[in-house]
Amino acid sequence: MADLYFYTRRHCGLCDRLKGMIDAVIEHDGRDDLKLIVIDIDGDPGLMEQFCFRVPVVVHEDAVLLEGRPDEQEVRQALASVE
């Protein structure tokens, strides 16, 4: 099982869009080996400082996989790189 950390904020349309694309790719490709862990940065001052203007951000093993406004192909490629 590979953990993907999804850093988000409340009322973030870009975050909702990216999460929907990730969920769709995981379901379509049968990637039940991926676990999306959603983290709302609003409640953590350290995360707010680190990610405030960067969300949405998806991290796997301390590496940023996705950030901002990726398209579906970029999401597919990023998730395919996770083993």
Is 90 exceeded by the pLDDT of residue 83? no
Give the pLDDT of residue 44.
Answer: 96
Given its phi and psi angles, is residue 14 left (phi above 0), alpha (psi -120 to 50 degrees) or beta? alpha
- Tell me the pLDDT tens digit for each residue of 3-55: 999 999 999 999 999 999 999 999 999 999 999 999 999 999 999 999 989 99
**CATH fold of 2-80:** Glutaredoxin (3.40.30)
Confidence of residue 65 (pLDDT cuts 50, 70, 90): very high
Give the pLDDT of residue 9.
Answer: 95
Going by DSSP bridges, is the β-strand pair 57-60/2-8 parallel, antiparallel, or unpaired? antiparallel
